[in-house]
Amino acid sequence: MACRISELVVDAVDPERLAAFWSDVLGYVELGREDDGSIEIGPPGAGFGGPQPTLVLSPTTDPRPAKLRLHIDVSPTDRGQPAELDRLLALGARPADIGQTGEESWHVLLDPEDNEFCLLRRRLDPA
């Protein structure tokens, strides 16, 4: 047996705001809070150790130094990519220009703290 990703930790200047954004994007709920201000969100009814990783939004005062080496890709589950793009933009995501040609099948976006993530075309089963 190998390892699997159980949680992703994301530094956040405003963990509340980022937790609310990613909860709306992913359909996650708050699972817990730590004394240091970290907020863990994850799938309802599953939580830590479930089939999908949880996200831990960890407070920081350090500005983001540069482009992150890791980003999140999301795929729509109950609508097509154009409708999901509209939904993500309404939640506060913003388009990012990283030199795309316009021919890509994905959209590069920024979350409220300017972390890049991609909306892929392929629809996935919500489970």
Domains and CATH numbers, the chain: 1-59 (3.10.180.10), 70-127 (3.10.180.10)
6-10, 69-73, 118-122: range with lowest mean pLDDT? 69-73
The pTM for the full model equals 0.87
User: What pLDDT is recorded for position 52?
Assistant: 87
Percent of all residues in the chain with a pLDDT value above 70, rounded to a whole number: 96
Residue 127 has pLDDT above 70, yes or no: no
pLDDT, averaged across the chain: 90
Q: Which residue has the higher pLDDT, 127 or 26?
A: 26
Picking from 92, 15, 113, 87, the residue whose alpha carbon sits closest to that of residue 55 is: 15
Q: What is the pLDDT of residues 52-84, one digit of tens each?
A: 899 999 999 887 767 777 889 999 999 999 999
Residue 1 has pLDDT above 70, yes or no: no
